[in-house]
Structure 1
Amino acid sequence: MSIKTILRASALVSLVGGAAQAEEFTLTMSHYLPPVLGLHVDFLEPFARQIEKATGGKVSVDIQTAGSALGTITKQWDQVADGIADISFGLHGIPRGRFSCTQVIELPFLTDSVEEANEVLWNVYPEFLAEEHADVKVLALMAHDPGVLATTGGKRVENPEDLAGLRIRVPSPYVAAMIEDLGGIPVGMPPGQVYENMQTGALDGVVLPWAGLKEFRITEVTTNAIEIGAYTTPFYFIMNQDKFDSLPADVQEAIDSISGDALVAQFPDWWTAWGAAGPAQITDASGEVISPDAALRQAWIDATASTVTRLEADLAAECSNGAALITQARALSSN
């Protein structure tokens, strides 16, 4: 056998061996969102590719989105906890009742910015929320930008009393309690159905962050919006602990290097960017967007004070060490 032939054979073996190493592990990531939304395009898809790059191609990530067998919103947590998926992104509030401590971030007017909401949520996690997340590896926790109250049909809302009698789609029991106590009629409904119901007059309004209003095209049927910033919603980004533990140390280090603090720090800018075009879409169509000054925001806080007191009492009763959690969350917030 010639030297040239030996070298070719050696090169082929090296290539085959390298390819085998490059595809040594495949991780399945699942979430409940369409692949056109910002959460997928700017966060989840790039995160998967970052894992592949950081591991030198040793790991590949297969993403299953809405409409796939793993894309059901109610199953994201259990899929990872049970090892059906390796990584998932989901909402703490769906299904309800599992994360009574984590819902502290949903308290009306607890935070007043997306930066503060994410900072509070991530900082109370180690001491107060870890127990609720004990059966998985937490890659990050997220909160969206402060909620906006958008209405249609000329139903203008500026002050709390303007809500009386209005049918408002709500995202959570905490927001439902606030709307009801202010004289509104809370309506539970998936965000994908809001556009049609506001267009036909079946709904008078909705509470959502700017990103949701824009991505579900609700800005097109909005005549008035007020940036009350009354709430935010928590999300989880998790990995199966056993799967993580089974990976080589260098792969574990690669995943850790792009999750945790480094990942949480990126969420505020993403949410701001996703919702940035929302206000102009309303005002360009002759609608109105109200940005409350300190006095108006305080009027909303005062009007919902009794609701918040009641919700805090419920949370303290439902959550282990709930009173201390609320105290710490308020100490971290500016309100």
Structure 2
Amino acid sequence: MRKALFALLGLAAGIGSAIHPVAAQDKTINLKVSLWVPPAHPLVPATQAWAADIEKASGGTIKLSVFPSEQLGKAFDHYDMARDGIADITYVNPGYQPGRFPIIAAGQLPFVFADGKKGTQALNEWYQKYAKTEMKDTKLCFAFIHDPGSLHGKKKIMVPADLSGVKVRPAQSTFGEMVKLFGGTNVQASAPESRDAIERGVADEIAFPWGSIFLFGIDKVVKYHIDTPLYSTVFTYNINLAKYNAMSDGQKKIIDDHCTPEWASKVTDPWVDFEANGRVKMKALEGHEVYKLSPEQLGEWKKGIEPLRASWAAGVKKAGGDAEAIDAELKAALKKFDAGL
């Protein structure tokens, strides 16, 4: 009888091991996730839900702590923070470091994306293979965009010439090049620093997505808003290679399973909805003018940015890439997901 009981207990223990192989065999990995947006930003709860799902799938052997509001470092430094292990997973704006990531900068040219959700799918599919070289000292989890943003400010900007002499906080480096092209001056400020820059008169205009105008309090210091999908900013979630490589095969698979197009959407769609709703909110707000550009005015903008496309192609060529082929693949992805203008 006792032998039978011990055999039964042994069988039960064996079944338990089979059910929880990760928990039984893997060492616990603690990951610090760094975001530079405030806790109220939609990316924060969405990333916390993503982190909780990773922990659950790993049987508790991968634990993630999310740090918003630049707690671990400045927004401009987040790629290097992932590379150097200051944080293990970081939220990166590649445009904060002009010229460093020339390929993904294609997504930052004006008038590329018409839709945030479809655009994220197109960008993520297109960029995955290029990240293996362009961001080789980190592991790309996924790439995404926010809902297309526009120009907001103290002055009514209608045509490119209206930017002459105007101080603009650009959303990313390509937008900054456009500002210079049209005779304006760039003011560098991260998103959390932007309201102060406008309030003190350091900047007159800002390129920003609609909902975040309210989130960062910028609606209090601007009045005019162009109602067109002028630009998008590309973002990535990057993982420290040493920390990823230290994981077991099972843990790596769990991370990989959470770096898919589906998870890119789960994490970023709430932000896209938030930004899109901001445009609706702004239109209903007293003291603000939200205005469309005429077809002729829009034509001026599109014609005026052609040098930016040439500059992007030159940057890719300098880095050893085939700009024509890369651009063709991006356009194909945009068409596949119906994401372009």
Aligned counterpart, 2:107: 105
| 1:80 maps to which of 79, 82, 86 | 82
CA RMSD of aligned residues (A): 3.1
- 1:157 matched residue in structure 2: 157
SS across alignment from 1:61: strand
Structure 1: segments with no counterpart, 5+ residues: 1-16
| Bigger Cα displacement from structure 2, 302-311 vs 96-105 | 302-311
Q: Which segment is superposed worse, 276-285 or 136-145? A: 276-285
Looking at structure 1, the residues matched to 221 and 283 of structure 2 have their Cα atoms a distance apart, in angstroms, of 8
Give the superposition deviation at 1:200. Answer: 4.3
CA distance in 2, matches of 1:269, 1:131: 27
Residue type at the aligned position of 2:102: S
2:63 counterpart of 1:60: yes
Q: Cα deviations across residues 1-25 of structure 1 (Å, max 9, x unaligned)?
A: xxxxxxxxxxxxxxxx99x959951
Give the gaps of 5 or more residues in structure 2: 1-16, 335-339
Instruction: Give me the whole-angstrom Cα distance separating, in 1, the residues matched to 2:193 and 2:70.
Output: 17
**How big is each residue's C-alpha offset from its partner over 1:90-147, in whole Å with a ceiling of 9 and x where there is no partner?**
2223444431222121122222222343233212224433211223322111222222
| Contact map agreement 2:54 2:255 (CA 8 A) in 1 | yes
Residues 235-269 of structure 1: CA distance to partner in whole angstroms, max 9, x if unpaired? 22122334334333443333222222112233562
The percent of aligned pairs where both chains have the same amino acid is 23
1:322 matches 2:323: yes
Q: Which residue of 2 aligns with 1:45?
A: 48
Aligned to 2:122: 120
Aligned CA distance change for structure 1 residues 185 and 283 (closer, same or farther; 3 Å): farther
Letter in 2 for 1:103: A
Once residues 241 and 193 of structure 1 are traced to their aligned partners in structure 2, the CA distance between those partners, rounded to angstroms, is 30
The CA distance in 2 between the partners of 1:302 and 1:116, in whole Å, is: 25
- Residue identity opposite 1:309 in structure 2: A
Aligned residue for 1:71? 73
Is the counterpart of residue 215 in structure 1 residue 215 in structure 2? yes
Provide the TM-score with structure 2 as the length reference: 0.79
* Equivalent residues of 2:90, 2:238 under 8 A apart: yes
C-alpha separation in 2, matches of 1:253 and 1:263: 14
Aligned to 2:144, the other structure's residue is in SS state: strand
Select the residue among 146, 149, 157 that pairs with 1:147.
149
Aligned partners of 2:170 and 2:206 also within 8 Å = yes
**Correspondence list, 1:177-256, <5 A:** 177-256=177-256
Q: Paired residue for 2:314?
A: 313
For the pair 1:297 / 2:298, whether they are aligned, the reply is: yes
Looking at structure 2, the residues matched to 169 and 85 of structure 1 have their Cα atoms a distance apart, in angstroms, of 27
TM-superposition CA deviations, 1:177-226 (whole Å, max 9, x none): 21222233332223333323433444321111224322211122221101
TM-score, normalized by length of structure 1? Answer: 0.80
2:92 counterpart SS class: strand
The residue identity in structure 1 corresponding to 2:266 is: Q
The answer to whether the 8 Å contact 1:147/1:230 transfers is yes
Deviation at 1:67? 4.8
Q: CA deviation at 1:39?
A: 4.7
Deviation at 1:149, TM superposition (A): 0.2
